[in-house]
Amino acid sequence: MKQPENNEIDTLLRGWASNARSRSAKPSENVAGSHLDADELSSYAEGVLPVAARARYTAHLSDCDECRKLVAELTEARPLPAGDQVVTDVNRSWRARLAAFFAPSVLKYAVPSLAVLLIAVVFFATRNKEDVRSVALKTELPVSSSSAPSPFVTSDKGGSPQAATSETSKTVTRTSSSPQGQTSQAQDEDRTRADKKDNEERAKQTADTATAAATDASRRAEADAKHKSPAPAEETVVVAPPAAAAPAPTAKVVANAPKESDAEARDAMAGSRERGGPSKGGPSKGEVASKNAGGRGQDKTETRSLSSLQAGIASNDQQRIVAGRKFRREDGKWIDVTYKSSMAATTVARDSEQFRALVADEPEIEAISKQLSGEVIVVWKGRAYHIK
């Protein structure tokens, strides 16, 4: 059907309705049979009638202006009926939730948002490139001076300088907020700048290897580890990805890893601490950064931003917005964020008359109680209600 034709019939209907209204200005001119009684009107408005009875009343309402207006008035006070396409969060299965997450309407906003987020991260990383390099170089020193290079050092050398820089930039991004890290960085700045060119050249020399191994860096690192030694470095490489999401456990794992020497252990600890905790700077920075490099630095930036986004989504399970109100999950209850512990809450059981009276006056509260299962504390018109 073409839109203009629909518009024409729409206009025609409006005109006809207007004429009909003015012709039957007197009430109840077109009554079809006896009017509905109060019970029928309210049951219809509440949508609780059996299908056949409802159809009978629908036929009456379509012809009786008076009853129709009453039903419309009574329906206005009711929340949206359940059972239609509107699916509440409570009733949705995980499959439906997943589908909703990837729905075009969501992606329409999510994809540009992610793109903007990525651009922001890349921009930030590029902006701090100088600092990053200095940190990377600073951490290179002990590696180069190490007499017994560990497998991850190999993987480090195999990694491209860009990747190492990118990965380290994340470290710096996180540690830059730490005053200790900044101080340490300032102290080492001159030294690291002096070594900067040399290190870059060295990194370029290893770039060929890095390009070949870029896509398979982690596998190679594992392979190296198997062939050379079960060094703690391999442990660190393995645990590195979770470290992005949960820094503290990583530090623990590294600390528990077999130690070749106290110095190495300290390095490993410092490196892992740097990932999550306050940075103190130190030789292991370069190791940790380079271990994870292997040409995947950029990808990791994306992965990390995605994981942080997913963490945000997960935390949304603890928050819900219903009927324009924000609720947080606390002790198994949904609590209105505007609720304060100093407020006296009226306790209302869901099945009680008091509850029905409340929702009859405030239908939104019913919508809230339907969408949020369990105990709910809602602040409504300055009063707090504890719905059980």
Partner 1 sequence: MSAQPPKIERLISDAAGRLLARADENYSLKSADVTPRLAATLNKYVLRDEPHASEASLVEFLDQLQAGDLCLAIACEGGNSAAWNDLVERYSTTVRSAARSAAGSEDAADDLAQSIWAELHGLRTREDGRPASKLAYYSGRGSFAGWLRAVVAQLAVDQHRKISRLVQTEDDAEFDRIADDTQSVPASRLDPENALTSDSQRRAMEKALASAVAEMEAEDRLLVKLYYFDNLRLREAGAVLGVHEATASRRLTRIHTDLRQRVEQILSSEGNWTKSEIAAAFSEVAMNLHTDFEPLLSD
List contacts with partner 1 (CB under 8 A): 1, 5-22, 25, 27-28, 37-39, 41-43, 45-50, 52-53, 55-56, 58-59, 61-63, 65-66, 68-78, 80-81, 83-86, 351-354, 356-357, 360-361
Q: How far is the CB of 60 from partner 1 (least distance, A)?
A: 8
Residues 290 and 106: beta-carbon distance below 8 Å:
no
DSSP character at residue 332 = T
Q: Which residue type sits at 15?
A: G
Our CA angle for 310, 313, 319, nearest 5°, is 155
Which residue number, 262 or 353, has a Cβ lying nearer to partner 1?
A: 353
Q: How far is the CB of 97 from partner 1 (least distance, A)?
A: 19
Q: How far is the CB of 344 from partner 1 (least distance, A)?
A: 19
- Residue 84 tokens read as 């239609």
Residues 181 and 279: beta-carbon distance below 8 Å:
yes
Our CA angle for 300, 304, 309, nearest 5°, is 150
Which residue number, 63 or 190, has a Cβ lying nearer to partner 1?
A: 63
| Rounded distance between C-alpha atoms, residue 210 and residue 293, angstroms | 10
Q: How far is the CB of 9 from partner 1 (least distance, A)?
A: 5
- Residue 79 tokens read as 């929340």
Place of tokens 């700077």: 281
Q: How far is the CB of 338 from partner 1 (least distance, A)?
A: 23
Q: How far is the CB of 75 from partner 1 (least distance, A)?
A: 5
Distances (CA, A) of 291 to 39, 148, 208, 230, 270: 75, 16, 17, 15, 14
What are the helix (H) ranges across 277-374? 284-291, 297-316, 353-361, 363-371
Which residue number, 52 or 314, has a Cβ lying nearer to partner 1?
A: 52
Which residue number, 5 or 262, has a Cβ lying nearer to partner 1?
A: 5
Q: How far is the CB of 59 from partner 1 (least distance, A)?
A: 4
- Encode 39-65: b = buried (16+ Cβ within 10 Å), e = exposed: ebbbbbbeeebeeeebeebeebbeebb
| Rounded distance between C-alpha atoms, residue 150 and residue 233, angstroms | 7
Q: How far is the CB of 88 from partner 1 (least distance, A)?
A: 12
Which residue number, 79 or 295, has a Cβ lying nearer to partner 1?
A: 79
Which residue number, 14 or 191, has a Cβ lying nearer to partner 1?
A: 14
Distances (CA, A) of 331 to 11, 114, 318, 347, 377: 56, 33, 11, 17, 12
Which residue number, 15 or 112, has a Cβ lying nearer to partner 1?
A: 15
Q: How far is the CB of 326 from partner 1 (least distance, A)?
A: 23
Residues 311 and 304: beta-carbon distance below 8 Å:
no
For 335, the 3-state DSSP assignment is strand
Which residue number, 81 or 112, has a Cβ lying nearer to partner 1?
A: 81
Which residue number, 62 or 310, has a Cβ lying nearer to partner 1?
A: 62
DSSP character at residue 339 = -
